[in-house]
Homo-oligomer: A and B are copies of this chain.
């Protein structure tokens, strides 16, 4: 551990543009300018989003010639997964309860 990382995974994925960027990069490594072509905003704005994603370690960039290519680095999503798994007990239970209700309702109507 080192750099006082300003943005964490939770913040990083809060923005819809950043989530779209992650989606794009999940398919293919891409340079900034090409990523930008998918959005109605300036290259600078996209670069800032990439910077935030980098801080959260969700993407990694490497210089290739004059361009910088980014690719997905999904590992930090495991933190999100862990966080979420705590709550799954609550909503999966509820869903299964609901399922029960619906099923017994259906039975009554037979």
A→B interface (CB under 8 Å): 10-11, 13-16, 19, 22-23, 26, 72, 74-75, 77-78, 80-81, 83-84, 86-88, 90-91, 94-95
Copies of this protein, total: 2
Q: Which residues of B contact A22 (CB under 8 A)?
A: 87
Given contacts A14-B14, A19-B83, contact A94 B75 (CB under 8 A): yes
| A84–B84 touching, CB < 8 Å | yes
Q: A87 to chain B: closest CB distance in Å?
A: 5
Starting from the known contacts A13-B83, A80-B84, 13 additional A-B residue pairs (CB-CB under 8 Å) come to A10-B15, A10-B16, A10-B19, A13-B14, A14-B14, A19-B83, A26-B86, A74-B91, A74-B94, A75-B91, A77-B91, A81-B88, A84-B84
| A105 to B20 alpha-carbon distance, docked (Å) | 28
Q: Which residues of B contact A26 (CB under 8 A)?
A: 86-87, 90
| A80 to B72 alpha-carbon distance, docked (Å) | 18
5 residue pairs of the A-B complex, CB under 8 angstroms, read A10-B13, A19-B83, A72-B87, A74-B87, A77-B87
